[in-house]
Chains A and B, each alone.
Chain A
């Protein structure tokens, strides 16, 4: 479990980090923030970078700001920073509750929001939540800044829209309004705690009907993605006792068995069943929460 040798360079600004990534463009280069995705990957031999660019000390990337419409998380904001910020449960309860179940206490003291998303582990908890929340990923690279909707950021297992010399600078998450309900529920692996299936939901109601719905899953597929068939079943529907179950039945509509992950813990067939069950729970909990404050 000793990492292979690599060169380590510490960036003193985002601009310098991008310059360094460009300078070492021909080498196998990785970005280091909290290190809680990168170091385990290096130690297990899955990655063997020649150069590691450390952005963990960049103040311009750390911290979060709760605005009237959106909450912006700097890329190197740790999970613990999120949980220690007043008002975060009011503004973005789904993000706060998700961060609370990532890893363990020590991991949350070190792991970062941007690192989580850039690593794009299919079983990580945060990706589904940012997709369901319609968050925007702010990216900076040699060609300047650009913004990507979270739903287009995740491409495949450990693969994102990030270019080779780009890095995430911030994640902008729309706040949850009074007429909205938001949640994340998961079936966690009893050994690792990662999501075997996790479903995030954000629903907006208009009286007794559903005006807008966004659902996303991680753990189920090779990357976090929206559950559009189930969303379609919700939008415009009148809220009844069996709505969550009916709409959740559509979670696997159009999903081929090969699209669902299959491993030693959960077969793809069982994953499909879990996906429907956890979609139902997410919808129901989001509905129950409309207009209700969520506390830490």
Chain B
């Protein structure tokens, strides 16, 4: 019972893999399957660098067992864009310079995508609150909030 055969669908691709009970989803994704978009930051549910979507909802992959995600659909930052085009939220982070070192960016983007699906027209306070669980040590957040604001407009225009 210490090893388990599980199936993960990551960015539409189905994988069968064997994991230990204690393997965290973030490690299964990064080391088991090579999805190095989600990062390992604090490893204690605080910084959000490991944020991915499980069945469409943003969660912290450092606080989820890989075996718990058995049979679920996972989206990492690598799976956001389509046909070689960046997702509008990714584009906005680039245009608004919503990053410096970039380490927190995959998590910021995954949380923002989940948030904008629920609240397509947020104000700046709501954006800051939505990103409460994602920590950036470089930017001071100003440009990140700008990026999410601009992404919201882009997504609305695209509808």
Chain A contact residues, CB within 8 Å of chain B: 1-10, 32, 35-36, 39-40, 43-44, 52, 54, 56, 80, 103-107, 109-110, 193
Contacts and interface: CB of A to CB of B under 8 A. Distances in A.
B59 A106 contact: yes
B65 interface: yes
B59 A109 contact: yes
Given A6-B22, A39-B63, A56 B43 contact: no
B132 A32 contact: no
Contacts of A193: 132
A104 to B, nearest CB: 3
B4 to A, nearest CB: 7
B38 to A, nearest CB: 12
Contacts, number: 83
A35 B63 contact: yes
B136 to A, nearest CB: 14
B24 to A, nearest CB: 7
A21 to B, nearest CB: 15
B22 A3 contact: yes
B57 A109 contact: yes
27 contacts: A1-B43, A2-B24, A3-B24, A4-B22, A5-B21, A6-B21, A6-B22, A7-B2, A8-B1, A32-B68, A35-B63, A35-B68, A40-B63, A43-B43, A43-B44, A52-B21, A54-B67, A103-B133, A104-B48, A104-B132, A105-B114, A105-B131, A106-B60, A106-B111, A107-B45, A107-B60, A107-B133
B51 interface: yes
Contacts of B65: 8, 32, 35, 39
Contacts of A105: 58, 111, 114-115, 130-133
Interface of B: 1-2, 4, 20-22, 24, 43-45, 48, 51, 57-60, 62-65, 67-68, 111, 114-115, 130-134
Given A8-B67, A32-B68, A106 B48 contact: yes
Nearest to B57: A109
B23 to A, nearest CB: 9
A56 to B, nearest CB: 6
Nearest to A9: B1
A94 to B, nearest CB: 20
Q: 7 closest A-B pairs (Cβ-Cβ)? A: A104-B133, A8-B21, A1-B43, A7-B1, A3-B22, A104-B132, A109-B57
Contacts of B20: 5
